[in-house]
Amino acid sequence: MKNILVLGGTRFFGRELVELLIENGHNVVIMTRGQSGNPFGDKVEHLIGDRSNKEDLAKLTAGRTFDLVYDNICYSPNDAYQFCEIFNGKIDKLVFTSTLSTYEMDGKEKSEDDFDPYHYHIRFGESTDFTYGEGKRQAEAVFLKYAKFPVVAVRFPIVMGENDYTQRLHFHVERIAAGEPIGFLNMDADMSFIQATEAARFLHWAGMSKVEGPYNATANGKISLSDLIKLIEEATGKSAKISLVGNDEIRSPYAIPSSWYMTNEKATKAGFSFTYLDNWLKPLIKEIASTKG
């Protein structure tokens, strides 16, 4: 049994991670701002505070040590550095949720070598000082330079699931079902995805195994946006109305100019077994479509 702190953990794949940790008999502490409540009851200890506030983080964890910490909500180099200042010498490992957005969107399959956080120029700042992708790049670089504990940076593509609070896949299903237009930039662009349950399973594996450094985590396979729309058309029985210009209101959250996908070869060789996108994407779309009437 490990003593584990999860920063975030009450929504989407973070919630599934906590449930998995509980099922495996670990002692789990979560820290959130309290806005989503505590769905785990007395199965976890719930600390309420702002992860981005150094004083909150330091005060709530003062005098405590952890075998493992999961940080799902770090978006800036400042937050990463403050974490290192607080937890150096107090934890045995960190699993940091990073992103496909650390990679350039240039149409080429992305491996971990395409972004090297070990030699990246660090610029300190808050999340508002950077794009989402740059904030995550900077956070990776800071963790891997200043942490005195092993760090795994898990790079996820877009995570899918029925309970996705961002509603990105739902957006497409709802608009196609309602006969409303969707704006895209390139329908031939290929994308990677991972299911929420698998994202949680990978985070669990990354924490319990001996891996360190950057790891891509994505389902096997990729899909073009045109083929994704065909699956939604099939599930809804409606034809999509596609605009290749589109204003912000109708623009797809997947509106990318060129292919953007990653390989999971490194993690597979390290021993993790990924699902196949073709096996779960169509059933997921059908399930979401069924709830939209």
Burial class (CB in 10 A: 0-12, 13-18, 19+), 137: buried
* Residue 2 and residue 27 in contact, taking contact as beta carbons nearer than 8 Å: yes
Residues of the chain where predicted confidence (pLDDT) is lower than 70:
246, 292-293
Domain boundaries, the chain: 3-157+194-216, 161-192+222-259+276-291
Q: What is the CATH number of domain 161-192+222-259+276-291?
A: 3.90.25
CB atoms within 10 A of CB 113: 8
* Residue 74 and residue 6 in contact, taking contact as beta carbons nearer than 8 Å: no
Does domain 3-157+194-216 fall under CATH 3.40.50.720? My reply is: yes
- Residue 293 is predicted with a pLDDT of 55
User: Which ranges of the chain would DSSP assign to H, the alpha helix?
Assistant: 12-23, 54-60, 77-87, 132-146, 168-177, 196-208, 225-236, 265-269, 277-291
Q: What is the dihedral of CA 280, 281, 282, 283, to 10 degrees?
A: 50
Rounded-to-integer distance, Cα 250 and Cα 59, Å: 44
Find the length of the chain.
Answer: 293
Rounded-to-integer distance, Cα 167 and Cα 288, Å: 10
